[in-house]
Structure 1
Amino acid sequence: MVNIRSLDPSASPLDYYGYELRRLREEAGLSQSQLGDILFCTGSLVGQIETARKVPTREFSERVDAALMTGGFFSRLVGLVLKSQLPSWFRPYVELEGKAAYVYSFQAQLVDGLLQTEGYARAVLAAGFENDIDGLVAGRMERQRILEREKPPLLWVVMSEAVLRQEVGGRQVMRDQLAHLLRMQGHRWIKIQLLPFGVGAHGGQMGSFNLLRFADEPDLVYTEDFVQGHMTVDSDAFRQGSLRYDHLQAAALSVEDSSALITRVMEEHYGEQPEPGGSALA
């Protein structure tokens, strides 16, 4: 039976998306199953999106625009929908991150969110006891689109070597994640440095933090605890954060040596390993 749950289009971007999808589908004289056939998906999926029970992907939105000839309406709307899936306390940071000219990040335990693969992000979010994992993963992937802009921010990430060796999501997920870091390292506006264990005590032991620099707005420091994030544009706090970051960057391996370490860990820890019987496990 077709789900006819009514939506309030003003309730959220997701509700508005579902409301408009249903309205325009019905105007086109198509059933959910018929539209699903055109979009190469199930009618059930169309129904779930129309009732705001599932978050649409960007690919789905582009196909809907082509099928219903909506002039890119859903492709534009989906960005707002996906951002709305992020925690409410995190959205102000994401808005500012999208305007930054420079993003400097120190990560003590995890790959920076802008560099995470979908599999890695899913494992991280699942470990945090989150409810709507699909929506949160989609929101995180959407956030990464700032790196695809014609003029993206310069992203400079310093990560502890522990990030490479902490297995998140299984060996294949980690191998894919490290391979992704190597690919991203190839972009001229992305730099990744590793802080090796041999450094010993360092200025990042208190936890991860980000610094955002802008062309025409106050610079800010961003930190997180297990509940929410914290931002400040206090100039003294930014100065202290910058000094801490500079010391971490100076102590880290060069970009080239960091790539070599990523490659070595990827092969030694997450490459193919023989089973006791002799065959290999990916």
Structure 2
Amino acid sequence: MANIQSLDPTASPLDYYGWELRRQREAHGLKQGQLGDIIFCTGSLIGQIETTKKVPTRDFSERVDAALGTDGLFSRLIGLVLRSQLPTWFQPYAEMEANAAYISTYQAQVVYGLLQTEDYARAVLATGKPDDLNGLVSARMERQRILEREQPPLAWVVLDEAVLHRPVGGPQVMRRQLARLLEFADHRWVHVQVLPNKVGEHASLDGAFTTMRFDDNPDIIYTEDLISGHMTANSDTIREAALRYARLQAAALSVEDSAELIIRVMEERYGHGSQPEEQPVA
């Protein structure tokens, strides 16, 4: 196992987190097992995080802050750590997403990332056979924290109806995922519309795209191909995307009718009972 002293705290957010965790633990005169006992985990896990063998979670970070009295240090660091676990090509998008004032997206294959449940996200991300699936899932869940802000971005999501019928992760995972979508039916900042199959050909048959608007920066269009993502602020592309999105919204069901369709799919494909059990987001 690598020695923590060999870590360069400037190498990455994860290296700095591990270096700082050991520094703070030793400053409090605690062995790894002793700190583990305090925060209800194993000393081995503490060692793995200190040597960057494991990626910490937000819950772990909050417990460490409480145990060591570090005034939220690790809770602040964890956002940087988890963002650094995203694929390199995706990190610029995540940075822009976190600063957007308005997000509009059309998704043809899967539920939009900010609205995914953890189990659904795990099933989606596992298809790429990543080396650290847990780290990617944690990073995706961390991205969703922008929706918990006092004033989150206004997010308008159009989902192709095929997304509702594709059994990602199996029936129970899908039932919980559709229940999650229903939580946004009366949400102030997030709106979900479904583009029904009966529409047939539509304005974005060539794939998904996301537009982001900012208070002080030009609009951005984001698309993905098989292996990477692409962002552009080209004004002609922005205009074309805005026109296509307007057509998609016009063809999609209303927010209310979309919720009714989601309920119907839940009942018919993934079991009976239409009321989601999860607590709604703020």
Please state which band the TM-score falls in when normalised by the shorter chain. Answer: over 0.9
5+ residue gaps in structure 2? Answer: 274-282
Per-residue CA shift, 1:117-142, capped at 9, x if unaligned?
11111110101222211111111111
Q: Structure 2: how far apart are the matches of 1:4 and 1:227?
A: 34
TM-score, normalised by the number of residues in structure 1: 0.93
Give, in angstroms, the shift of residue 4 of structure 1: 4.0
Q: Which amino acid aligns with 1:34?
A: Q
TM-score, normalised by the number of residues in structure 2: 0.93
> 2:29 aligned with 1:18, yes or no?
no
Q: Structure 1: how far apart are the matches of 2:204 and 2:44?
A: 48
8 Å contact kept, 1:3–1:47: no
Q: Structure 1: how far apart are the matches of 2:120 and 2:148?
A: 20
Give, in angstroms, the shift of residue 229 of structure 1: 0.4
> 2:163 aligned with 1:153, yes or no?
no
Instruction: Give the alignment's Cα RMSD to 1 decimal.
Output: 1.4
Question: In the comparison of the two structures, how many residue pairs are matched?
Answer: 272
8 Å contact kept, 2:266–2:272: no
Indicate the residue corresponding to 2:278 in structure 1. Answer: none
Q: Which amino acid aligns with 1:157?
A: V
> 2:132 aligned with 1:132, yes or no?
yes
Alpha carbons of 1:21 and 1:167: their partners in 2 closer, same or farther (altered >3 Å)?
Answer: same
Alpha carbons of 1:48 and 1:184: their partners in 2 closer, same or farther (altered >3 Å)?
Answer: farther
Q: Structure 2: how far apart are the matches of 1:97 and 1:242?
A: 18
8 Å contact kept, 1:13–1:80: yes
Q: Structure 2: how far apart are the matches of 1:44 and 1:131?
A: 20
Give, in angstroms, the shift of residue 8 of structure 1: 1.7
Q: Structure 2: how far apart are the matches of 1:186 and 1:125?
A: 29
Q: Structure 2: how far apart are the matches of 1:180 and 1:253?
A: 18
Q: Structure 1: how far apart are the matches of 2:96 and 2:123?
A: 26
Q: Structure 2: how far apart are the matches of 1:33 and 1:229?
A: 42
8 Å contact kept, 2:86–2:139: yes
Indicate the residue corresponding to 1:108 in structure 2. Answer: 108
Give, in angstroms, the shift of residue 32 of structure 1: 1.1
8 Å contact kept, 1:210–1:221: yes
Q: Which amino acid aligns with 2:57?
A: T
> 2:212 aligned with 1:209, yes or no?
no
Per-residue CA shift, 1:68-112, capped at 9, x if unaligned?
111111011111001101111111111111111110000001000
Q: Which amino acid aligns with 1:194?
A: V
Q: Structure 1: how far apart are the matches of 2:247 and 2:61?
A: 45
> 2:107 aligned with 1:142, yes or no?
no
Question: Where do residues 43-82 of structure 1 align in structure 2 (5 Å cutoff)?
Answer: 43-82=43-82
Question: Where do residues 161-200 of structure 1 align in structure 2 (5 Å cutoff)?
Answer: 161-200=161-200
SS for the counterpart of 1:98 is: helix
Q: Structure 1: how far apart are the matches of 2:209 and 2:107?
A: 7
Indicate the residue corresponding to 1:120 in structure 2. Answer: 120
SS for the counterpart of 1:81 is: helix
Q: Structure 2: how far apart are the matches of 1:37 and 1:3?
A: 23
Give, in angstroms, the shift of residue 50 of structure 1: 0.8
Give, in angstroms, the shift of residue 239 of structure 1: 0.4
8 Å contact kept, 1:90–1:228: yes
Indicate the residue corresponding to 1:39 in structure 2. Answer: 39
5+ residue gaps in structure 1? Answer: 274-282
Per-residue CA shift, 1:159-210, capped at 9, x if unaligned?
1000000011111111111111111333211000000100000112100000
Q: Structure 1: how far apart are the matches of 2:26 and 2:215?
A: 47
Q: Structure 1: how far apart are the matches of 2:17 and 2:216?
A: 34
Which stretch of structure 1 is more off in the superposition, 189-198 or 84-93? 84-93
SS for the counterpart of 1:192 is: strand
Give, in angstroms, the shift of residue 3 of structure 1: 7.0
SS for the counterpart of 1:186 is: coil
SS for the counterpart of 1:141 is: helix
Q: Structure 2: how far apart are the matches of 1:44 and 1:170?
A: 33
Question: Where do residues 76-91 of structure 1 align in structure 2 (5 Å cutoff)?
Answer: 76-91=76-91
Q: Structure 1: how far apart are the matches of 2:233 and 2:185?
A: 29
